[in-house]
């Protein structure tokens, strides 16, 4: 597996220097690092230079769709949009490639289809919101997927900081290289991990973290068509179209349909 390295000095400079980094939470740092790597994926896919820093007028937790440098044009959406339409016309290139690579590993390693589906959608919410993306992502997808998938997405945000030798998940070397040996998650992340570890669905979150590590592998080039049938079997597509089915998360999908709506 080949993952492009991140320049630690440039990364810290983008965040305001070592002093600024020292004030950031573990979760915020990890999310910023993932955002940097997603930008590198976008650049590789589009054969362009990596995207520039987010405008200081846009807070870092905002979704990628609100950064016009990352998503300069939005294609029109059909009247009754499906998940496939969102993959093709709304989720950012970096998110799509990351999720496809994660799902590709799940599929190729023979995991149950529920884990493949979880890997395919686990970070899609980052197009809309990056802060606490596991929690947002779970709410975003819960009306449409198996409850184990939504639960796993919620808790993968915490589990990524904790190794599990039973499935070969190690604490990411990149975290150690970028943030140092004394990198400690916040108490709410620790509490979420301890709660999830005791839960009967623990492995649904853990396998997301396992597959997530393959989501930046530049040696694979999975095709979205390979997953269309899996979506059909594992995603409850509303007949009204996503955003207009009055589900608890319909407003999130509407926000992606028209992120320029002022009210």
Measured in degrees and rounded to the nearest 5, phi and psi for residue 260 equal: -90, 0
pLDDT tens, residue by residue, 16-46: 665 555 556 666 667 666 666 666 656 555 5
Task: Establish if 140 belongs to a structural domain.
Answer: yes
Q: How far is CA 40 from the centre of its chain?
A: 14
Q: Supply the pLDDT for residue 78.
A: 97
Integer angstrom CA distances of residue 195 from 14, 63, 147: 34, 28, 17
Task: Establish if 131 belongs to a structural domain.
Answer: yes
Task: Establish if 263 belongs to a structural domain.
Answer: no
pTM given for the model: 0.81
For residue 109, give its domain range. 8-257
Task: Establish if 211 belongs to a structural domain.
Answer: yes
Q: What is the pLDDT along the chain (263 residues), one digit of tens a residue?
A: 544 566 666 666 665 665 555 556 666 667 666 666 666 656 555 555 555 555 556 777 888 899 887 788 899 999 999 999 999 999 999 999 999 999 999 999 999 999 999 999 999 999 999 999 999 999 999 999 999 999 999 999 999 999 999 999 998 777 777 677 777 888 999 999 999 999 999 999 999 999 999 988 888 999 999 999 999 999 999 999 999 999 999 999 999 999 998 87
Task: Establish if 251 belongs to a structural domain.
Answer: yes
Task: Establish if 3 belongs to a structural domain.
Answer: no
Contact 103, 222 (CB under 8 A): yes
Task: Establish if 130 belongs to a structural domain.
Answer: yes
User: Number of folded domains in the chain?
Assistant: 1
Task: Establish if 2 belongs to a structural domain.
Answer: no
- Distance (Å, whole) CA 58 – CA 47: 25
What is the sign, positive or negative, of the torsion defined by CA atoms of 148, 151, 157, 162? negative
């Amino acid at each position: 597996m080949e993952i492009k390295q991140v320049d630690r000095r440039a990364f810290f400079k983008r965040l305001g220097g070592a002093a600024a980094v020292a004030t950031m939470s573990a979760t915020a740092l990890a999310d910023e690092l993932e955002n940097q790597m997603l930008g590198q994926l976008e650049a590789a896919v589009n054969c362009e230079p990596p995207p520039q820093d987010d405008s200081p007028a846009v807070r870092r937790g905002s979704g990628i769709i609100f950064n016009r440098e990352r998503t300069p044009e939005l294609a029109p959406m059909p009247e009754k949009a499906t998940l496939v339409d969102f993959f093709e016309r709304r989720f950012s290139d970096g998110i799509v490639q990351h999720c496809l690579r994660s799902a590709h590993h799940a599929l190729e390693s023979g995991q149950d289809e529920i884990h493949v589906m979880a890997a395919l959608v686990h970070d899609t919410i980052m197009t809309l919101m990056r802060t606490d993306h596991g929690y947002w992502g779970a709410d975003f997808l819960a009306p449409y997927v198996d409850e184990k998938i939504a639960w796993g997405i919620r808790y993968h945000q915490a589990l990524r900081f904790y190794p599990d030798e039973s499935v070969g998940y190690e604490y990411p070397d990149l975290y150690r290289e970028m943030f140092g040996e004394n990198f400690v998650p916040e108490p709410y992340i620790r509490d979420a991990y301890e709660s999830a570890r005791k839960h009967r669905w623990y492995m649904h979150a853990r396998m997301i973290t396992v597959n997530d590590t393959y989501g930046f592998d530049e040696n694979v080039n999975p095709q979205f068509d390979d997953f269309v049938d899996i979506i059909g079997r594992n995603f409850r597509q509303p007949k009204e179209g996503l955003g207009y089915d009055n589900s608890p998360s319909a407003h999130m999908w509407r926000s992606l349909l028209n992120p320029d709506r002022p009210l």
